[in-house]
A and B are shown apart, each in its own frame.
Chain A
Amino acid sequence: MLASIVSPSGLIILFSIFGIGGIGTTLLRGNNRAQNLWAHIFSITGALWGLIFAASALISNREFYVNGLATSFPFLSLSFHIDKLSSLFIIIICLSVLFCSIYGIGYVKSFYGRYNVGNYGFFYNLFIAAMLAVVTSSNGILFLFAWEIMSLASYFLVVYERHDHKNVKAGYLYLIMTHAATALITLAFILLFNHAHSFDFNTIRASVPSMSMALKNIVFLLAFVGFGTKAGIIPFHIWLPAAHPAAPSHVSALMSGVMIKTGIYMMIRLFLGILLPIPLWWGLTLIIVGSISCVLGVLYALTEHDIKRLLAYHSIENIGIILLGLGGAMVFYSLHLPTLMLLSLAAALFHTWNHATFKSLLFLAAGSVALATGTKNIEKYGGLIKSMPQTAILFLIGAMAISALPPFNGFYSEWLTFQSLIHGVLSGDILVKWVFLGGLVSLALAGGLALACFVKAFGSTFLARPRSVMAKGAKEVSIWMRSGMAGLAVLCLVLGVASAYIIKSLESLGREITASPRAGLITSVSSRQTLQIGHNFGSISAPFITVVAVATPLLVWFVSRYFINRHQKITSSPTWDCGTDITPRMEITSTGFARSLTMIFQPLLRSNLSYDTAPAGSLAPTSIVATVGIVDIYKKYIYGRMYSLINILSIYFKKIQNGNINAYILYILLALIIALAMGI
């Protein structure tokens, strides 16, 4: 049974479901409801089949290749490889797709009559199929082809709500950045091809021992920047906070939760699977970049008052955390510490999975709030827990998970990352120790700031009183949308409770990725379901923490309800308001909440505070508006200067395009002579 599922036919069925889903949607012209259902029923079916397929592959310990489906394009053969790493990523992708698609059935109703639902359905299914192709391809050209399709499909989804010019602008930025990244990745593959004379991953891996270190270093840098741009590492992240919020919310969830992980997938595949052995500085670079990304990502999130941009910045933070684990694994590999390498890699993989889950949940919840209120501005929310109680609870679960609060999954993967970093501090030379220590401090700082940020996000959105007419009129979203979110919330809890077994399995998986079958495992699971690291180095019991986390509030409620307040009479009366009406203007805004933290990190954020009084210069102004702004240093100092340089060069090179046909023909003549001479 399992053998028939885990086979080339199973893979073809997987892609076919999304193919039928995409093409079929466009054929159902004019019927928005049918298009919506068709697109999502097929994506749900595809996700379920993907889960069965990948889970069967993992359970049966089966891996297979699909080779030899040659095409009419040179070098392009439809070669796929299903191993444990790709199976894990299929599961990560399909779980998010499953719940996002359920949510999408309700969300897409808001597009009826405004946008073409057929186009949406086509690109949505194409996007999912392309992501699956990225994590299953075993040929460089096929991978690049799938990567490009994934980028283009997601671009069309980003600009889907094209009536808002900001979305179109965000899509343009995304298109430029993603293609710049693709150019670098393509160059990396061309260099590998030049050495191995093949785009096949296995052939490249076999040729790596004879590859010069200089070439390997160049490939590493190109791939790291290329995949890092897609993953959203700082300073290549500028597209991410613009593009992710622009897409429909469940697409944002997939982009932020899953798509950026394809960059991480390829880093693992290349750096720990193909280019081995690797030098020490590669891993150290990843830890340093990860440390910077996780701290700056969360700091930028703190200053945001667009709820989806806030979440997008948290993706940068979490990619930083994943890089801490991945970088640690690479360092341990270079230091010949395979046991610790597996621990770090398990931390990176587990956080990848967890982030996909809670970030998808948060984007879906943010999308629900934005849909119900018609705005993404947190300052306009407030008091939504009364009108959207279920969404509020689900958002809270996501917020707790991302803030690494037990009993949810985020806590366990961050705890594991801490363990691996602490091991790093205890091993290696002084440079390695300091880099790991930096990572440790960054992770601790990011954890604290993330908690502050989500206190702000949850408090400003759901607590106190509505601060706008839109918030006042908000209503709970449809059952489809709530079901999608609820599924992910349950998953956050399940991944947390079952974390010990998952971590152990991920460690075993790391053995196969890095071809280290003899590497010992540092973790063990006791009969009391406690995960232990080494010999009494660290231990944690997820079931115990879950019971404590659930039982404590229940116990407090029970004691207060039946013992403390048993003989007290509860009376309701208006709150003393000092003789003035309590209005939403008296509430602390999200900007005000984050102001003190923003000012503490002023040198990093380059934040500024300005006041606007009306009427200006009056002794008794009718209103004063305080605005905290930050300077986008990346746009100003990196991309702005790059733009200026390109502009100057363009003006210079424009002289070549002087409108004289003779000059153009002369270029052709020169190019012809050079091409003939070089081609020969």
Chain B
Amino acid sequence: MLKIHFFQVTVSVVFLSSIYFHLAKRNIRISMVYGLQSAGVVALLFYSYLQKGSPLILVVVLATLAVKVIIAPTFFIRLINRHKFKFAVDPHVKMALGLAIIGLISGLVTLHIFSPLTTIIPANQTYLTLALASMLISVFLIANHKDALSQIVGILSLENSIVVFAIFAGLDQSSILDLGILFDIFVWLFVAIAFISMMYRHIGSIDVTRMKRLKD
């Protein structure tokens, strides 16, 4: 019973945080909630370690904790404070319509056509449905938000959702591969932050729609 509650809480954290990214106005809160979402993923990975007892999984847990829960949010907050872009840029669609689309996406994944994906392990159908919805909501975040920081958080949130989906779908992979992916994310974080800094320095904003001169 405790296990079920644990799963419900962690998956809900991932799912709700992916929705919160759409609603948040302050960039610092977005960064902190990303840390919280990642903490949910770390908790799930830690549960996996307790089940299997493999030291390599523990290494993955610790590395995920370091990269996603500590380093990434810290870097984002430092970046926000340095350039003082406290508030997120207005998205393309307003909040009400955005919420309607999120509702539509969440409803869509419960349809029968997605059942082969969400019933890979029938006992985990709810979690898989929520993880799949999180994935699509994260992609929608990248599509809807104009500021680069939200888009980067959207990509990271998408990655978290995929990890959760993989855990509940039983798509275990080698821990070495997990570490490789984490290293990739770690490097990518530096690149993304450097990109935002350069962008702000050049155009005085992190609104990607202002990069008009990059058009063909």
Give A contacts to B, CB under 8 Å: 657-663, 665-666, 668-669, 672-673, 676-677, 680
Contacts and interface: CB of A to CB of B under 8 A. Distances in A.
Given A672-B136, A677-B113, A665 B143 contact: yes
B114 interface: yes
B143 A669 contact: yes
A655 to B, nearest CB: 12
B209 A669 contact: no
Interface in B109-167: 113-117, 136, 139-140, 142-146, 151
B114 A680 contact: yes
B113 A665 contact: no
A657 B215 CA distance: 9
Contacts of A658: 215
B106 to A, nearest CB: 12
Nearest to B155: A665
B146 to A, nearest CB: 7
A446 B114 CA distance: 63
B66 interface: no
Given A659-B214, A659-B215, A662-B209, A680 B139 contact: no
B208 A662 contact: yes
A659 B216 contact: yes
Interface of B: 92, 108, 113-117, 136, 139-140, 142-146, 151, 208-209, 212, 214-216
B137 to A, nearest CB: 10
B117 A659 contact: no
30 contacts: A657-B216, A658-B215, A659-B212, A659-B214, A659-B216, A660-B209, A661-B151, A661-B208, A662-B142, A662-B143, A662-B146, A662-B209, A663-B143, A665-B139, A665-B142, A665-B143, A666-B143, A668-B139, A668-B143, A669-B139, A669-B143, A672-B136, A672-B139, A673-B108, A673-B136, A676-B114, A676-B117, A677-B114, A680-B115, A680-B117
Contacts of A661: 151, 208
A677 B110 CA distance: 12
Contacts of B146: 662
A589 B99 CA distance: 80
B92 A662 contact: yes
B141 to A, nearest CB: 9
A661 B151 CA distance: 10
A254 to B, nearest CB: 42
A665 B208 CA distance: 13
Contacts of B139: 665, 668-669, 672
Given A658-B215, A662-B145, A677-B113, 16 more contacts: A657-B216, A659-B212, A659-B214, A659-B215, A662-B92, A662-B144, A662-B208, A666-B143, A668-B139, A668-B143, A669-B136, A669-B143, A672-B136, A672-B139, A676-B114, A680-B114
A186 B140 CA distance: 36
Nearest to A659: B215
Nearest to A672: B139
Contacts of B209: 660, 662
Nearest to A669: B139
Contacts of A666: 143
A680 B113 CA distance: 7
B214 A680 contact: no
A139 to B, nearest CB: 32
A660 B139 CA distance: 15
Q: Which 5 A-B pairs have the closest CB atoms?
A: A659-B215, A665-B143, A666-B143, A669-B139, A665-B142
Contacts of B113: 677, 680
Contacts of B140: 669
Contacts of A673: 108, 136
Contacts of A663: 143
Contacts of B114: 676-677, 680
Contacts of A676: 114, 117
Contacts of A669: 136, 139-140, 143
B168 to A, nearest CB: 17
A662 B208 CA distance: 9
Nearest to B138: A669
Nearest to A677: B113
A658 B211 CA distance: 12
